[in-house]
Amino acid sequence: MRPGPTAAAASLTRRMGPDAIRRRAPMSGPAAGPAIAFVGLGGMGRGLVKNMALKGLAVTATDMRPERVDEAVSFGAVAGSDPVAMAAEADIFGICITTAEAVQDLAIRHGVLDAMRPGAVFLDHTTVSPSHVDLMRQECERRGLRYCEAPMTRTPAHADRGEVNVLFGGDADLLEELRPVFATYAENIFHVGPAGHAIRLKLIHNYIAFANVASFCEGFALAAREGLDMTKVIGIISAAGGKSGMMDLYGELTLKRDFTPHMSLANAQKDVRYYAEWMNEAGLPAFMSRSVEQTYALASIMGHADEGCTAVIKAYEELTGIEARLPEPADTEAAQ
């Protein structure tokens, strides 16, 4: 079971105390620009820190898992002390962790915002909720800080290559100030609109993407149950209106039983939940999004939360008793 947001934040602050040794790997050139603190070295955060460090920015990073910090040091980052101590020294405090609740625990209840210097930037790359963005902006403004919402699209592989899409919501002057930082890890930097618009568009994007995954996984499971030729399913669907970016990325991998968590099922469920809650707050029915969220929730309850989002297919397979898979090469040769 994963720790809740409060437990996770407390664990992170305990893991590296204020006297922790800072380490830096050799760099090709001197670090320059603002002092950046960064929390969260998972799939996306790892790539952001890697590219900032390799491209010469001064980055201090930490994570709940020490081996991730060690890897960041190998890229040229500094191993941070606890997040509160890091915040006190940072011009920009960046974060990319699991949930809005975890961000609030660390930032508000564990004192990161209180430690930051007036005028510093709290850079939030986490996929959160509209209400979170509103709260964090208010909490930052109350302390003389600047809140930056900058959710991302694309995958950890893109982050590793420095090719994410950054969706920025807020003042154009702040975007221009942060653009050199974003440019170290982003292929595209989109100014979506005022504060709050970036996360709203990100949630719409993620809902459409993860609803698509749930729908093609359901279709694959039914195709397998009914004995269809699984070697033909994706090609025929993709030759017409059923073609999609998510199926292009993950369709064949799903049928090859590769559930590597490039985008975890737990995060898919979380993002769709935030979208459905936003729909309700907007006074709109959330029939479809709640159905999608509950489909992911069922797969999570069945034990697949830490697998890739396409592991949602296993919820159907446990009902049918039949795996949706491509035949092994030996099976194909025998059939010929």
The helix-helix angle for 197-225 and 287-299 (nearest 10°) equals: 60
Contact, 83 vs 110, CB < 8 A? yes
Give the end-to-end CA distance of the chain in Å, rounded to a whole number: 46
Helical H runs in the chain?
5-15, 43-54, 66-75, 83-89, 100-104, 112-115, 130-142, 156-161, 172-182, 197-225, 230-238, 245-255, 265-281, 287-299, 313-320, 329-335
Contact, 276 vs 289, CB < 8 A? yes
Report DSSP state, residue 32: E
**3-class SS of residue 119:** coil
C-alpha span between 96 and 85 (Å, rounded): 18
Q: Is 202 a catalytic residue?
A: yes
Say how many C-beta atoms besides its own lie within 10 A of residue 201's C-beta.
Answer: 16
> Which of the residues 50, 55, 202, 314 is marked catalytic?
202
For strand 92-95 and strand 32-39, is the pairing parallel, antiparallel, or unpaired?
A: parallel
User: Cα angle vertex 129, ends 277, 178, to 5°?
Assistant: 160
C-alpha span between 313 and 300 (Å, rounded): 11
**Residue 95, H or E segment:** strand 92-95
Residue type, 213: V
Say how many C-beta atoms besides its own lie within 10 A of residue 59's C-beta.
Answer: 32
Contact, 94 vs 41, CB < 8 A? no
Contact, 120 vs 90, CB < 8 A? yes
C-alpha span between 245 and 146 (Å, rounded): 35
Task: State the catalytic residues.
Answer: 202
